């Protein structure tokens, strides 16, 4: 009974924070609302028996990814707000299409017999998680490491070109 109440409170908080994150006019506010949504999701993962993922959600997502996003927002310092956001003809079509899609999916879920089953209160320990991760999915781990390396090279390529351009800009010609 307790966990049920906690689940619905967390679900309401996550949904509200996500809606605010998507619709907020200022980018910094949107990023902070998204961090609130991520913290709620971490609590929900803990409730759903994934303590390691809850910790990783806070450390990786809220800690690393969102800090990167916040720093880039501060670097861009866009003072202009999205003025055209709330003009009705611009957003009605996407929102209507999403509502239609969501209604269809929820109706489908209501008809599915497995959706009414109650979730068990199981718990996957980090040791269990790591054993399956590094035995059955070792190839996927290597692929993810390769992907992260490629992303690093790509980010350095774009960022490095930008630094070179900035260095060339003040003086004429530059040294290299």
Partner 1 sequence: MIVPFGHVLALGVLLFLTGACGAMVRRELIMVLIGVEVMLNAAVLVFVAAALHWGQVDGQIFALFIIAVAAAEVAVGLALVLAARNRTGAASRDQFSSLRG
Contact 50, 121 (CB under 8 A): no
Name the residue nearer to partner 1 (CB basis): 115 or 174: 115
- The minimum distance between CB 140 and partner 1, in angstroms, equals 6
Contact 1, 35 (CB under 8 A): no
Name the residue nearer to partner 1 (CB basis): 117 or 172: 117
- The minimum distance between CB 131 and partner 1, in angstroms, equals 9
CB neighbourhood size of 30 (10 A): 18
Q: How far apart are the first and last CA of the chain?
A: 68
3-class DSSP assignment, residue 119: coil
Name the residue nearer to partner 1 (CB basis): 157 or 174: 157
- The minimum distance between CB 172 and partner 1, in angstroms, equals 19
Report how far residue 150's alpha carbon sits from residue 36's, in angstroms, rounded to the nearest whole number: 30
- The minimum distance between CB 9 and partner 1, in angstroms, equals 12
Name the residue nearer to partner 1 (CB basis): 166 or 171: 166
């Amino acid at each position: 009974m307790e966990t049920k109440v906690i689940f619905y409170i967390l679900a309401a908080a996550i949904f509200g924070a996500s809606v605010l994150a998507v619709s907020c006019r200022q980018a910094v506010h949107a990023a902070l609302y998204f961090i609130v949504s991520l913290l709620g999701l971490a609590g929900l993962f803990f409730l759903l028996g994934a303590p390691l993922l809850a910790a990783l959600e806070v450390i990786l997502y809220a800690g690393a990814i969102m800090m990167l996003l916040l720093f880039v927002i501060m670097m861009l310092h866009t003072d202009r707000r999205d003025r055209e956001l709330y003009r009705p003809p611009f957003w009605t079509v996407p929102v209507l299409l999403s509502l239609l899609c969501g209604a269809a999916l929820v109706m489908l879920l209501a008809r599915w017999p497995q959706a009414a089953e109650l979730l068990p209160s199981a718990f996957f320990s980090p040791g269990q998680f790591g054993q399956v991760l590094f035995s059955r999915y070792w190839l996927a781990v290597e692929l993810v490491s390769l992907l992260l390396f490629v992303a690093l090279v790509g980010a350095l390529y774009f960022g490095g070109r930008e630094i070179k351009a900035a260095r060339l800009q003040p003086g004429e010609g530059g040294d290299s």
